[in-house]
Every structure is written in structure tokens, then in C-alpha cells.
Amino acid sequence: MPILKNLGVSDPKVPRAGTLPLRSSQNPFEEVSGLEEEEAGEPGSLPNGASCRRRATLEKLAGLSPFRLGWAPGRRAGSPGDGQPRSFLGRVLVPGLRRSSADFGLLARLQGTRAHGDEEAAGEAARRLAFLRLGRGSKPQRASLAERVVPAGEAAPEPPPKVPEPPKMKEPLSVLEILSLIQQRELARADEHILELEAEELASSGGGAPGPPKAEGAGGGRRARDVALLYEALQRELWALVRETLAGPGPGAGAGAGAVAQLGQVLVQEEAADGRRGPEAARKLRARWAEAVARAARERLEAAAPGAPGGLAGQLEALRARLLEDMAVVRGRLAPAYPAGLCAFSVYLRGYHGALAEWLGASARRRLPLADRYALLHWHNQVYPREVLGLVDIAALENGELGPLLSPGTLRGLEDECVTDVKAQTRAALLRVLQEDEEHWGSLEDQPSSLAQDVCELLEEHTERAPRISQEFGERMAHCCLGGLAEFLQSFQQRVERFHENPVVRELLPDTYISKTIALVNCGPPLRALAERLARVGPPESEPAREASASALDHVTRLCHRVLADLLFQELQPHFNKLMRRKWLSSPEALDGIVGTLGAQALTLRRMQDEPYQALVAELHRRALVEYVRPLLRGRLRCSSARTRSRVAGRLREDAAQLQRLFRRLESQASWLDAVVPHLAEVLQLEDTPSIQVEVGVLVRDYPDIRRKHVAALLDIRGLRNTAARQEILAVARDLELSEEGALSPPRDRAFFADIPVPRPSFCLGLPLLLGRLPLSRLARPSLACLPRPRPPTLVRPRAQR
């Protein structure tokens, strides 16, 4: 008590003189607490008449610290036997308990009133002390307590040793303080306190280790709700941080690496806590983090796509640029800030992959135009694997490769739609192009045709894009386009036939008719090359369509060649009529006319493309020699002497050499025709039978379509009447014919003698017939050795009598 008096503190039981009681208007806690009056057993007044029920003693002030102690409800303020420190709310303070959110809210409301009163009291005291210093002067130096107790001249005793203070316990944070940490993005520290609060809640509910006394009423449920609300707030900040980190590479566009590191630390702490919670109570923040990454990726991609120009192709290009930009941010700034065990790069890549798959799937389900479907398939199969995943370390993925963006069924459906649209569009477009070109066939204007170019462009647009998507899709598109081309060429063939069958066109347009025919022939090579290329790319089922295309083009080419050749040989026919006559032996006029006309027409025919031109020149070469040999084998000229045979053979060799030079200049590839006329000249000039047999054998070997009637006609021209010699020579042709009966006939472009008809062969009278019907004196006449074959008698019906 003396010590207390010296310190200036009154005894709680004995009132001190001059001590003023705290009235209701002066106590800031009396208006808030709403506590009841103390019980009647306590002293009600002091000797000076003041009330002592709310006296501000040290014992009562000790319980006013709301920052270190908890409370326990259920006891009234001033109840007998309480003996425990109390808060300003009158609740028992238990050391070590965490303040609840309700107490913290009350304190927050009272801080303003109490702080305002303290500031006014402190200011008044400072002014009063300053006035007293001015009246007393400077404060004198006062001796310490040790100097007053120890006599002068003696040494001062050593101060007593300091008693070590007990270590202060770590003060648990309130719910609002933890929430404040979350809002300040001190996420790892906040998560630690949430885990502690969760552990306290489990212990108080009887599910964990023993903890502080269990609160009565709704305290336990309130603490569980606090934990749940804190976790919700924590997750909101975590996923907001995930979104902000993808905003851009600069520090101003998103959170720094420190915040990302705290996010990763929270995930590691929660994953360890899930191991203690068990599978049923696990919060699985790592899986939710992956979902948050996927949501953020979806938002980023959806924000990039709509504003891109150029339709779906432009949107896909914007997605590619955004994806590469964000993955660069993840690789360079975000992934290194996460703990290595989280595989952050793999999580972000899978999140973007899944978001992109959703976007592409939604686009594929819409009714897209053909160009957009092409763009979608090409981006899925080529651009994304090469330009996106090719730049990303796929080997760093945690669970192997990524799945496909679109399912095989969706891809097959897109391809089927493309094939169907291409079949319908190309069929209509090809018929429209053919109809527009046909309208110019009957015009007087000689303008070049672009039919083949237009057809190739229409089909190649699809046949070139499809293989760049996938090989299988390229095969399907090639088969589709080849079928459409075959149908088009059949229609083209029918219209060309109608064009040439129309006599009005040939009569009214003699000048442009040849040019139109050459233009139609020129359509063949590019269309044939396109059909062959499509057949090579397409599946084996494309062979029938290729054959149909080739057949239609061959028919058109042969028809046009025949028309052009007929027109040319109509002009050459007067010159061919002058051959194999007596004037022909002495004058080259007929052959000069043939060579000059062919050379002049060759300039017009040279506008034809190389492939059909070579075929036409070869046909003209063959037909020119056929027309040259035809009058010879028809017996227009007879050689009655060796001199005449020598002149005829020489003339034949000269004409053959001149024709050979002409067609070489015309670039004819039918060199197999060069030897036919020289062989005939040799058969006419040779005198001995064995040499003639050898030459006939060579002729039959080189030209398999020659027959005995052609050889017999040739022997008649040279004047060979010897029956035995004729039979020996004809036997060579007969033997070769018999040996080649099983062989196939030569192709049409290799046929020569088959196009040369000969008169009915003469026959020799056999010996029995001669002996029985003719006198022996007449057998010596050589003119009767061979007679023409008698014709069968004609039956003449008698006229009916009237």
C-alpha cells in the first residue's frame, strides 16, 4: 500500500481523497456495453458520497486491452467470484483466444470516439504543464533514490539482476486482419493464418487436437463460416491475379513476379493441407487454379478474335498472334516465378489449348461458307501444329501430348461438307463456262478461247488447297473434281459434235471455221493433264473417271483433226489426181503443188499446241502417203518393160525424198512412213524373184496391214505374168499373214495399207480348166493367161404380162 501511494495509485478498496468518480457521461464504454449494474453486495458509495461501482482502478484498467485477450460469454459484470480480467464489454478475457469478427467490428466503431477524447485530454495537459514551467522556472536536478539511501562516501550497491521476461506468444490475427492481408495481396501469409484458423475450428469442433475452450452459442458455426468466407476471398484474389498476369509482358500491365510467387506458394501450402484433410475434405486449389487459367485463356482469346478483319481466316490469325504473345509471357515471366513442382507452363499451355478447342468447336458447329471451312481445316491441321505448337516445348508437358482441337468426327463432317459444296459449285460453274464459250463458236469474231484455262482454275482452286490440309482430304477432293471434270468433258464432246455437224457454220464462216476448230483442239492438252494429275492424286476408284475423261478428249481431238484434214485434202485432191500418169513421169508439177499447199497450211496449223499438232502432222503425213500410193496400187500405171519400171522406181524415190523433207520441216514424228515408197520402188525395179521375195518380206514386216492383194496389185503393175514366180512371191506374204493371224492388228495411227482398197484380183486359169474348155492352141497366147474373175450371173425376173 505505501508503494501504491508513492506511485499515486489508490487502493481499490479504500477510496483516496480527491479521487473523482467516473460518471456515466465521462465513460466512453458505458454507452456501448449496455451492462447491468453490479449486485447489491458491493459497496455503493465512497465517504465523499461518490459512487465506486465504476471506479477506474488499475485492476479494472488491466482488462481493457482488446488486442491481446479473448472473451468468454456467460458471466455478468461485477458478479461475485469472477476474479478474472474482463473486457470493456464485461466478458471474461481468456489468454490465447482469437478475437472474432464481431468484437473487431465494435472496436472499429469505438476507435474514433476514444481517440478523439484522448487527443483533447492530452492537449489540455500539455498546455497546463507548459504554464507551470513558466512559473517555477527550470526544473532542478533531483537525486536518484540510490543516492538518497546510500550515505556519502560509500560505493553504490550493484543493481539487482534483471529477471528475464517470459516470451510473448504469437498473437493470432482476427478475421478482418486476415482479410486485410488478402486485399493487400499478402496471399501466402494470409493463407497461413487461414490454415491456423481452420485448425482451431477443427479442434474446437472435436475433430482435431485439444484447443482453447469451446465457445457457446453460434461461435463454432461462425468460425466455420469465417473460414469459408476467407477462402472465397483468397480464391477471388488468386484467380484475379491469374487474369492480371496475362495482360501483358510489362510490369504495369499485370502483377509482378512476387505476387505470382505467392500464388504458387499458396498452391503448395494448400496441396500439403489437402493431404492432411483427406480426399473428401480436400479443397483442390491446384485443380481450381488450372480451371482459372483456362477461364483466363478463354477470355483472352475471345477478346482477340471478334475485332479481326477478314472473316474467319482473319480471326484465326488473330488467335495465333494472341496465343504466341501470351505463351511468350508465360515462358519468360510467369512460369519461372511458380514453384517447379506445379509445372506452370504445362498448365497454361493446356488451358490455352482447351480454350482454343472450345472456340474452334463453336465455329465448326455454325453453318460456314466454303472458304471459311477451308480456312478452319487448314489452320487446324497445318498452322496450329507448325506455327504454334512447333514453337512450344511439347516435351515439357506433364502428361504427354495434347489432344486434338477438333474430334475426328467433326473434322470428317467439315470435309464432307466441303466435298459436297465443291461438287455442286463446280458442276454449275463448269456448265456456265461452257455455255458462255459456246456462244462465241458461231460468231464472226476470231477471239481466243479461255475455256480450258477457266476450267483448270475452277478445279485447281480446290485440288491445290485440299492436299495442304491433309493427304486423305486431298485424295477425296481430287476424286470429286475428277468426276466433275469427266461429266464436263462428256458435255463438251456433245457440243463439239453438234458444232461440226452444222453445215451452216462451215458455209457461212469458212475463214473462222478452221480457227474455231484449232481452238477446240487446244482445249485438250491442259484438260488432259489435269485429269491425269487428279487421277494420280486420287484413290484407285478414280480410274474410271480418268478413262472417261481421256475418251471424251480423244474423241474431240480425232473429230477436229479429221475435219481439218478433210478440208486440207479437199484442196489437195486435184494435185493427187495428176499422180501416176505419163505426165507425172516427166513433170514434178503435181508433187510441187502438194508440197506447196501443205507448207502453206502448216503455218495456220502451227497455232495448235504441240501435242495435238504433232498428232495432226503425223496424220497428215500418213494420209498424204496413202493418197500418193493409192493411184499406184489401183493400176493407174502399167510397166511393160524394164526401162519403164526403172523410170517409175526412180520417180517414186525422188517424190519420197521430197515428201520426207517436207514433213521433217513440219516436225512430223511419223518416221515409220519414210520407207514405204522406197520399198515399193524396189519391188518394181528388182528383176530376180529371190530379191523380190526378200523385199516383199521386209515390206510385210514393217507394215503388218499389207495383204496379198496389195502384193498382187504391185506385181501386176510391174508386169509379172510368170505364174510360178507370182506364187513364190505371194507365198511369202501368205506365210507372214498366217504367222500374224493371232497378233493384234496395228493401231489406227499405224495403219497404212488398210486404207488403200485395190480392185478385185485377177486369177490364173488352172490347167484342168484350160484343158477341158479351151483349145490347146489358145494357151500359147499370154494375154489369156490371166483373166478377170467372172461375175456371178444376174437373175433377171420376167416382167409380168399385163
CATH code of the domain containing 464? 1.10.357.50
- Residue at which a domain ends, from 560, 594, 610: 560
**Grid coordinates of 438:** 459456246
Triad 652, 655, 660: Cα angle to 5°:
120
* In-domain check, residue 763: no
Q: Which of 754, 753, 751, 762 is nearest to 784 (CA)?
A: 762
Determine the straight-line distance between the first and last CA of the chain, rounded to whole angstroms.
185
Query: What is the spatial distance between Cα 552 and Cα 491, in angstroms, rounded to a whole number?
Result: 9
DSSP letters for 554-565 = HHHHHHHHHHHH
The set of cell numbers assigned to 271 is 496441396
Residue 737 and residue 753 in contact, taking contact as beta carbons nearer than 8 Å:
no
State the cell numbers at 235. 480464391
Report the C-alpha gap between 318 and 253 in whole angstroms. 20
Say whether both 555 and 588 belong to one domain: no
Query: Tens digits of per-residue pLDDT, 305-339?
Result: 876 677 899 999 999 999 999 998 998 889 999 99
What is the model's pLDDT at position 378?
94
Backbone angles phi, psi at 763, to 5 degrees: -130, 150
Task: Give the residues across from 787 on adjacent strands.
Answer: 763
Which helix H or strand E contains 668, and what residues bound it? none
For residue 70, count other CB atoms closer than 10 A to its CB: 21
- 178 in a domain, yes or no? yes
403: number of Cβ within 10 Å: 11
- Look at residue 722 in the predicted model and tell me its pLDDT: 85
The dihedral over CA atoms of 130, 131, 135, 136, expressed in degrees to the nearest 10, equals -30
End-of-domain residue from the set 714, 735, 750: 750
Q: How many residues does the chain have?
A: 802
Say if residue 741 is in the same domain as residue 597: yes
Alpha carbon separation from 549 to 381, 449, 528, 552, 641 (Å, rounded): 32, 20, 7, 5, 57
- Whole-number Å distance between alpha carbons of 371 and 1: 101
Specify whether the CB–CB gap between 682 and 695 falls below 8 A. Answer: yes
Helices (H), 330-407: 344-364, 370-378
Domain shared by 673 and 556, yes or no: no
102: three-class secondary structure by DSSP = helix
Give the DSSP letter string of 286-297.
Answer: HHHHHHHHHHHH
In this structure, are 555 and 589 located in the same domain? no
Query: What does the alpha-carbon distance between residue 331 and residue 338 come to, in Å, rounded to a whole number?
Result: 11
Say which CATH number the domain at 634 has: 1.10.357.70
Contacts of 481 (CB under 8 A, 6+ apart): 422, 426, 459, 462, 463, 534
Evaluate whether residue 610 is within a structural domain.
yes
469 assigned to some structural domain = yes
591, 727: one domain: yes
| Residues 478 and 597 placed together within one structural domain of the fold | no
Say yes or no: 552 and 445 in one domain.
Answer: yes
Low-confidence ranges of the chain (pLDDT < 50): 1-96, 102-116, 118, 121, 129, 131-136, 142-148, 150, 208-218, 250-255, 762-802
Are 644 and 728 in the same domain? Answer: yes
Longest dimension (CA), the chain: 202
Distance between CA atoms of 91 and 697, rounded to whole angstroms? 138
Radius of gyration in angstroms for the set of CA atoms belonging to the chain, rounded to a whole number: 59
Distance CA 444, CA 71 (A): 113
Residue with C-alpha cell 498476369? 245
481: which 3 cell numbers?
A: 473434281
- Helix/strand/coil for 763: strand
Same domain, 230 and 263: yes
| 470/609 same-domain check | no
Grid coordinates in use for 249?
A: 509482358
Tell me the C-alpha distance between 691 and 720, whole Å. 14
Domain that residue 686 falls in: 579-750
The three-class DSSP label of residue 95 is strand
Q: Is 336 within a domain?
A: no
238 vs 250: CA distance, rounded Å: 20
Are 464 and 481 in contact by the 8 Å Cβ rule? The answer is no
Say if CB 239 and CB 182 are below 8 A apart: no
Judge whether 93 and 84 are in contact, CB under 8 Å: yes
Closest among 764, 746, 756 to 710, alpha carbons compared: 756
Let me know whether 616 and 718 are in one domain.
yes
In a domain, 419, yes or no: yes
CB-CB contact of 376 with 363 (8 Å) = yes
**Residue 497 shares a structural domain with residue 638:** no
> Would you say residue 402 lies in a domain?
no
Measuring CA to CA, which residue among 54, 92, 334 is closest to residue 212? 92
Domain count, the chain: 3
Host H or E run for residue 119: helix 101-136
Cβ neighbour number for residue 454 with a 10 Å cutoff:
17
Q: How far is the C-alpha of 517 from the C-alpha of 509, rounded, in Å?
A: 12
C-alpha cell at 664: 521433217
For the full predicted model, state whether its pTM sits above 0.85. no
AA letter at 557:
T
Nearest CA to 185 among 87, 258, 292, 89? 258
314 in a structural domain: no
630 vs 626: CA distance, rounded Å: 6
